[in-house]
Structure 1
Amino acid sequence: MAETREFQAEVKQLLHLMIHSMYSNKEVFLRELISNASDATDKLRFEALKDPALLEGDAEYKVEIEVRKDARELIIRDNGIGMSEQEVIENLGTIANSGTRKYLEALSGDEKKDSQLIGQFGVGFYSSFIVADQVTVNTRRAGQEQGVRWVSAGEGDYTIEPVDKATRGTEIVLHLRDGEDEFLEHTRLRHVIHKYSEHLSLPVRLHRPADGEDEGGYDTVNQGTALWARPKADVKDEEYHDLYRQLSYDPEPPLTWSHNKVEGNLEYSSLLYIPAKPPFDLWDRDSRRGLKLYVQRVFIMDDAEKLLPSYLRFVRGVIDSNDLPLNVSRELLQSHRVIDKIRAASIKRVLSVLGDLAKNDADKFARFYDAFGPVIKEGVVEDPDNRDKIIDLLRFHTTRTEGQARISLRDYVERMAKGQEDIYYLTAENLTTAKASPHLEAFAKRDIEVLLLTDRVDEWMVNALPEFDGKTLKSVVRGDVDLGKLIEDPQAEGEKARVEALYKDVIERVQGVLGERVESVRVSQRLTESPSCLVVADNAMSRHLEQLLRQAGEAIPGNKPILEINPDHPMMTRMRETLDDDEFEDLSHLLFEQAVLAEGSQLDDPASFVKRLNRLVFKGA
C-alpha cells in the first residue's frame, strides 16, 4: 500500500528552485543521473568483493537509457547496488545525505554558475525536476527480495510503496514537461552523454527503437574505458577537460595536469589536476577532500585524503593502483606501505608540475598563486621532507613590488642591500596596513626591501622558516633594529647616545604615565616620520599573532609591548618642553594609542582616545 510523506523544508525549497529557476543549463540533470548510476555500480563492485552473492549472477555493469516518445518518458536504469526502503527515504526525502542546506547557502543568483554547483553538494537527483513534472523511482537493493517505488511531482510530498522488481539496481522514469521534447531525441541524448559521461569506466547504452528490418536494441555511446588507463598520446586536451569537469564539477578547464603511468616496483596510474580557481570548500575544515582511488580499475573510494597532504587539498584527480588489495579500507590506508610510496611520489609530482609552471609560464603560475598561495604555505610547516621545493614556490609582496606583483625569496636575496645580512619581513592584516606601517620607515630611508606578509598562515609559516640561503628571517616589529652597520657613519653611535641622554627624562615620564600598558619606553632606531610604534622582544609572540589567536577564540594573555618614540618628531619636542602634567599625560597616551591604530589593532577605550585628541587639538588652536 502506498504511503504519502512530506519532504523536509529544505528539500521543498530546493525542488521549487529546480522547477522555477534552473533554465540555462537543463542538460545537467542527465549528467547527474548517469553519475549517480555509475556511483551505484561502483558501490556494488566494492561490496561484492566481500559478498559475491550480491551480483545475483550478473557481473556486467551498465547504465541504460530508454526513450518512450508516446508516453513522454525518459528512463535511466542501472544494475548497481540499488536502495532499500529506508535508504530511499533517507536519500530522496530528507536532508540527511543530500547536502541540500549547504547547496542553498552557496547559491549566488547566477543561474549558470548555480547549476554547476548541483553535483558538488550531492543534490543531483533533484535536478530531475528541471525537466520532469513527475519522477518515478523503482529500486531494489542487491541481495534483498522486495523492491521500492518512490513517486513525486516535486510539489512538497512523495509516495512510497513496495514493488516487485526482478533485477537489482535502480530505474528512474522521468515524465517530461511540455516543451522539453529535446530530451526525447536520440541525437540530443547522445550529445549530452558524450559531453559528460565519455570517460566513465562502464558502458552507457542508449536504446535504439526498432525501425524496418532493424529490430532495435542498445548501442554503447561512451568509450567505457577509464581515460587514465589510456596512453597520453591518445588523449586530447578536451578529453582531459571533460574528465576534470566530472571529477570537480568545475565548469572552467583546469590550469594544468599531470598524467603518468608508473611501472616497476609499484604499478599505478595517476591523473592529477591543478584547478584554475579555488573550490568553494577550500577553507572548510569539515569538508571531505582527496583523490579518487581505484584498484585494478575497480572504484574503491572518493576523497582518499591519505593520498595527498592537507596543503595540496585543492588537487583533483585519480590514482589507480595494481598493488593494493581490493578490500582496502580507509583504516588500512593510514598505514599501508604502497599508499605511503604513492603519496610520496604524488607530492613530488604535484610540486614538480608547479615548479615547471613557475619557470615556464609566469602568468599561469600567478593565477595559481592568487588562488592557492596561502594553502601552499602550510606545507612549509607540515612537510619538512619537501620544504625546499615548497619554499621555491613561495611568492611575496614587498615594499618594492607594485600592485599584485610578488617575488620569490631567491629574488629577494639577490636584491639585498650591500652589507645586509638578514631577510626582513612584516606581518599585517592586509597589504594596505602593511605598507603604511611606521615600522618600515627606517628601512625605506635606507632602501632596504621588506617582505609584506598578509596571509593568516604567515605567522605560523615564518616560525617554521628561520632562515633561507644562510640568511635569517627577521621581523621588523621584534627586538631592537640596528641598521647603522648598513651605512658608513662613525658618528652614528655617538649620536644615538646623545639623543638617548637628551630624552632620558621624557622616557621616564612617559613610562610613569603608561605604567602597566607597556613593558618599557625607548628611543627608536626605526622611525623617521611617525611619532611612535609598538614592538615586542625578540623571543615574544608578535602582536599580530596575538590578535589572530584572539579572533579564533583563544584566551591569550598577551605580552606587554615596548613603546618606541621618534626623537625627531615635533610631538617629542613638545613633550620635552612642556611642564603641564595633564598635557603630558594626554600626549603620552596618544603616543601609545596612535601606535596601536597604526598596526591595525583596536583600541580598548576609543571614547577616551577621542576626548584626549579633542583636548589637544583645541588647546593647540
Structure 2
Amino acid sequence: MATETFEFQVEARQLLQLMIHSVYSNKDVFLRELVSNASDALDKLRLAALREDGLDADTSDPHIEIELDQKARTLTVRDNGIGMSYDEVGKLIGTIANSGTAAFLQELKEAQDAAGAEGLIGQFGVGFYSGFMVADEMTLVTRRAGERSGTRWSSRGEGTYTLETVDDVPQGSAVTLHLKPADTDDQLHDYTSAWKIKEIVKRYSDFITWPVRLLPQATDGEETPEPETLNSMKALWARSRDEVSDDEYHELYKHVSHDWRDPLETIRLQAEGTFEYQALLFLPAHAPHDLFTRDFRRGLQLYVKRVLIMDDCEALLPPHLRFVKGVVDAQDLSLNVSREILQQDRHIRMIQRRLTKKVLSSVKEMKANDADKYAAFWREFGAVLKEGLLGDTDDRDALLAVASFASTHDEEAPTTLQQYVERMKDGQDDIYYMTGTSRQTIENSPHMEAFRDRGVEVLLLTDPVDEVWVDVVGEFEGKRLRSVAKGEIDLDVQGGEQADGGREKQAETYAALLGWMKEHLGEEMKDVRLSTRLTVSPACVVSDAHDLTPALESMYRAMGQEIPSARRILELNPAHPLVQGLNQAYQEGEDRSGLSETADLLYGLAVLAEGGRPTDPGRFVKLVAERLERTLR
C-alpha cells in the first residue's frame, strides 16, 4: 500500500504545537509516558493470549527495550506486546482530537505556571505526544499480534502525519524519536546518554511488571555487552512497607491514574485466610475534570497473581468511591473472567465490602488526625461520597460519620451531624437545613430570618445531591432532618400559651385578607397563610412538608422524568408594614384592582427572593415601574 498523508484536526494541531514549543521544566516525563504505553501493550498481550485460543503471538520473553544512537540522535522505545493494526493506528495514534482534548487545552490555558501545566501531561490520552517536547520527528512502527503485515506512522508535528503498510515488522511497537539538536548548555537533558535514561527509568518506572532493558551502544572493536535491565519489576503491593518509599508509591499512583500529581493518601490492605488478596489504594488530591460525567472511567486495576486481568474493574468499589485509584491482586480468581462474572462473584463482593470499609475508616482517621488534609479531601470529593447516602447501603452510618457540612454556627469550620446534635437548643427536636446554589444565597434567603434571630443553627447544603439524600436518610440519632423552606416552622418551642394566644388573634385579624389572596392567586398557590419564619421580609414562598422542592423537580426533569409541578404556599409576615398596610386597605374596602396589583407584587417579590422568576416577568416589571413612578410625584 502506498504512503498516505492525513491532516490532524484543529485541536490536535494546537496540542502538538504546545508540545513542540513546550516550556515545561521537566521534559523527562516523555520517557515515562512511552514506557507506560509499552507496559500496557504487554499487559494486553498477556490477557489476549489467555483469552484467545490459538493466537499467533510470541509470549516467551515479554520485555521493553530502549535503544540509543548518539550519532543519529535517536531514541527508540520498543516492546513485543499486542501491537496495533493499520486501522487502530489511524484511530488511536493518528488523531488526538477526542472528547478530552478540548478539556485538556482549557486546563492547560488555565494553569497558573509551568509546573501546573506540566502536571497535565498524561491526562486525556495525550501522553504519546509528549515525545514532541524533545523530538523534531516521531516514527511508530507496529504489528498487531496475529497479523502478518505492519504499519508505519510518522509525523513532524506540523499538521500532518503519514501512514503506510510495511512488511517484515516484528510483533509489537517501536517508537523512534528523532531528537532535537543537542544543547551544550543543558547536559542534564541529553537523552542519548545512558546514565540519563537509567535515572529516568529508575525514578518513574521501577515498579513496571516487565523488564525495561537498555541496549548497549555499539563500539568499534569491542564485544557488545548484554542488555542491562533498569527496573526492579517487584510489585509495590507485594513488598513490605519498609521496602517502599513514598516516592515509589506516588509513581505507582501516577501510573495507574494518569494524574501525575502526588496522591493525598496511600492505603494498604492485605487479606489472608481462605481468600487472599492485596490492595494498594490511593485518594487523589484533586478531583478529575470529568468525575461527574457519564463517560468517567472508574474502577481499580485487577490482577491475579500479578497478571493484569482488567484495567478498570468497577465491581471492586461502589460508585460513590469511583475517585479511588489503585490495584488489587487476588490469588484465587480465574484468569479468564469477564466483567459480568465479576459482578456476581462472591469473592469480589467480599473485596468490595472490605475495601469500602477500609477507605471510609481511612477518611475517618484523616478527619480525626489531620484537619487540613481532611478539609482538602472533602472539598474535592464530599459531593461524590454523599451519593452513597442515596441507597440503602451498609455503609450509610460510616458515610454520615465522615461527612461534614457548612452551617451557620461557624463561617469557616464545617460541622458534623453529631456536633450539630450536641449543640441543639433545649426543646429543639429537629436538625434544620436549607439547600441552595451557594452559602451566600442561602444566608440571604427570607426562610433563614427567624432562625438567625433566634440563634438556631442551620446546615447550609449547596451540592445538587443534597436535595435528595436528606429525604432518603430522613433522620440522625432520632432527630428529623427538616428543611427550613418546607412545611410550617414553629421556633417558639418555649412560647407557651402566650405565643399561641397571640397567633390566634393574628389569624382572626388577617383571615379575610388571606382568604381573598388565596382566591385571587387561584391555581398559582396551594395556600396563603401567616408566617412564623419571617422577621424582616414581607413574604416568602415555601413548599408543603412532603412536596418536592423546585430544584428537585428540575433535577428529575433533567433526568427525563416528567413530574407535575407542586403548588407552593405563600407566607405573609404579619409584622411587616407592607403586609399590615395591605390588610388595613382591604378591611377598609379600598379598590380591589389596586389591592390585586399589590398582592401580585408581594407574590413576585417572594418568588424572586428564593431565586425563582415571576410567572409573567414582563407584567411584574411593569407593576414595579408604575409603583416607583408614583413615589416620585
- Tell me, yes or no, whether TM beats 0.5: yes
Offset at residue 548 of structure 1 (A): 3.8
The aligned counterpart of 1:593 is 604
Secondary structure, aligned partner of 2:136: strand
Code of the aligned partner of 1:441: E
| CA distance, structure 1, for counterparts of residue 392 and residue 35 of structure 2 | 39
The aligned counterpart of 2:548 is 541
Code of the aligned partner of 1:26: K
Secondary structure, aligned partner of 2:337: coil
1:98–1:123 Cα contact (<8 Å) kept: no
Code of the aligned partner of 2:303: Y
The aligned counterpart of 1:187 is 195
| CA distance, structure 2, for counterparts of residue 145 and residue 620 of structure 1 | 89
Secondary structure, aligned partner of 1:148: strand
2:44–2:81 Cα contact (<8 Å) kept: yes
Code of the aligned partner of 1:5: T
Secondary structure, aligned partner of 1:126: helix
Pairing 1:259–2:260 present: no
Which piece of structure 1 moves more, 81-90 or 191-200?
81-90
1:95–1:101 Cα contact (<8 Å) kept: no
Instruction: Pick from 170, 175, 186 the counterpart of residue 173 of structure 2.
Output: 170
Query: Given the superposition, is the C-alpha separation of residues 151 and 478 from structure 1 closer, same or farther in structure 2, using an over 3 Å criterion?
Result: closer
| CA distance, structure 2, for counterparts of residue 85 and residue 8 of structure 1 | 17
Instruction: Pick from 447, 471, 478 the counterpart of residue 439 of structure 1.
Output: 447
Q: Show CA shifts across 1:172-213 (max 9, x none).
A: 221112146611112221222122212111111122335686
Instruction: Pick from 214, 219, 225 the counterpart of residue 216 of structure 1.
Output: 225
Offset at residue 423 of structure 1 (A): 1.2
Secondary structure, aligned partner of 2:190: helix
Pairing 1:303–2:312 present: yes
Instruction: Pick from 564, 569, 584 the counterpart of residue 562 of structure 1.
Output: 569
1:312–1:376 Cα contact (<8 Å) kept: yes
Query: Given the superposition, is the C-alpha separation of residues 389 and 215 from structure 1 closer, same or farther in structure 2, using an over 3 Å criterion?
Result: same
| CA distance, structure 2, for counterparts of residue 56 and residue 34 of structure 1 | 21
2:120–2:260 Cα contact (<8 Å) kept: no
Code of the aligned partner of 1:571: L
Secondary structure, aligned partner of 2:414: coil
| CA distance, structure 2, for counterparts of residue 431 and residue 354 of structure 1 | 25
Pairing 1:611–2:622 present: yes
Q: Show CA shifts across 1:402-434 (max 9, x none).
A: 13x210000010000001111111112211111
Query: Given the superposition, is the C-alpha separation of residues 255 and 58 from structure 1 closer, same or farther in structure 2, using an over 3 Å criterion?
Result: closer
Q: Show CA shifts across 1:366-416 (max 9, x none).
A: 11111111111100113521110011111111122213x210000010000
| CA distance, structure 2, for counterparts of residue 177 and residue 52 of structure 1 | 44
| CA distance, structure 1, for counterparts of residue 53 and residue 195 of structure 2 | 38
Offset at residue 94 of structure 1 (A): 3.1
2:119–2:261 Cα contact (<8 Å) kept: no
Query: Given the superposition, is the C-alpha separation of residues 298 and 55 from structure 1 closer, same or farther in structure 2, using an over 3 Å criterion?
Result: farther
| CA distance, structure 2, for counterparts of residue 179 and residue 585 of structure 1 | 83
The aligned counterpart of 2:157 is 154
Pairing 1:133–2:136 present: yes
| CA distance, structure 1, for counterparts of residue 307 and residue 360 of structure 2 | 28
Pairing 1:7–2:7 present: yes
The aligned counterpart of 1:278 is 287
| CA distance, structure 2, for counterparts of residue 528 and residue 99 of structure 1 | 50
Pairing 1:476–2:484 present: yes
Pairing 1:59–2:60 present: yes
TM-score w.r.t. the length of structure 1 is 0.94
The aligned counterpart of 1:26 is 27
Counting only pairs closer than 5 Å after superposition, residues 292-331 of structure 1 correspond to structure 2 as: 292-331=301-340
Structure 1 residues not aligned, in runs of 5+: none
Offset at residue 551 of structure 1 (A): 5.7
| CA distance, structure 2, for counterparts of residue 283 and residue 412 of structure 1 | 29
Counting only pairs closer than 5 Å after superposition, residues 141-540 of structure 1 correspond to structure 2 as: 141-165=144-168, 167-179=170-182, 182-209=190-217, 215-382=224-391, 384-403=393-412, 405-484=413-492, 486-540=493-547
| CA distance, structure 1, for counterparts of residue 99 and residue 91 of structure 2 | 9
The aligned counterpart of 2:186 is none
2:530–2:572 Cα contact (<8 Å) kept: yes
| CA distance, structure 2, for counterparts of residue 499 and residue 56 of structure 1 | 88
Which piece of structure 1 moves more, 107-116 or 386-395?
107-116
| CA distance, structure 2, for counterparts of residue 159 and residue 28 of structure 1 | 25
The aligned counterpart of 1:38 is 39
Query: Given the superposition, is the C-alpha separation of residues 51 and 455 from structure 1 closer, same or farther in structure 2, using an over 3 Å criterion?
Result: closer
1:91–1:98 Cα contact (<8 Å) kept: no
| CA distance, structure 2, for counterparts of residue 97 and residue 294 of structure 1 | 29
Secondary structure, aligned partner of 2:61: coil
| CA distance, structure 2, for counterparts of residue 56 and residue 396 of structure 1 | 56
Offset at residue 521 of structure 1 (A): 0.7
Offset at residue 259 of structure 1 (A): 1.0
2:12–2:97 Cα contact (<8 Å) kept: no
Code of the aligned partner of 1:602: R
Offset at residue 115 of structure 1 (A): 4.1
Offset at residue 596 of structure 1 (A): 0.8
* Paired-residue identity, %: 46
Q: Show CA shifts across 1:138-191 (max 9, x none).
A: 222222332332232223333333334363211122111214661111222122
| CA distance, structure 2, for counterparts of residue 82 and residue 581 of structure 1 | 83
Which piece of structure 1 moves more, 49-58 or 461-470?
49-58
Which piece of structure 1 moves more, 580-589 or 284-293?
580-589
Pairing 1:82–2:83 present: yes
The aligned counterpart of 1:73 is 74
Query: Given the superposition, is the C-alpha separation of residues 42 and 455 from structure 1 closer, same or farther in structure 2, using an over 3 Å criterion?
Result: same
Q: Show CA shifts across 1:460-491 (max 9, x none).
A: 1111111110111111222212233x224421
TM-score w.r.t. the length of structure 2 is 0.93
Which piece of structure 1 moves more, 100-109 or 595-604?
100-109
Secondary structure, aligned partner of 1:474: strand
Query: Given the superposition, is the C-alpha separation of residues 55 and 269 from structure 1 closer, same or farther in structure 2, using an over 3 Å criterion?
Result: farther
Q: Show CA shifts across 1:105-149 (max 9, x none).
A: 553253544443342212222222222222222222222332332
Offset at residue 102 of structure 1 (A): 5.0
Query: Given the superposition, is the C-alpha separation of residues 289 and 548 from structure 1 closer, same or farther in structure 2, using an over 3 Å criterion?
Result: same
The aligned counterpart of 2:579 is 572
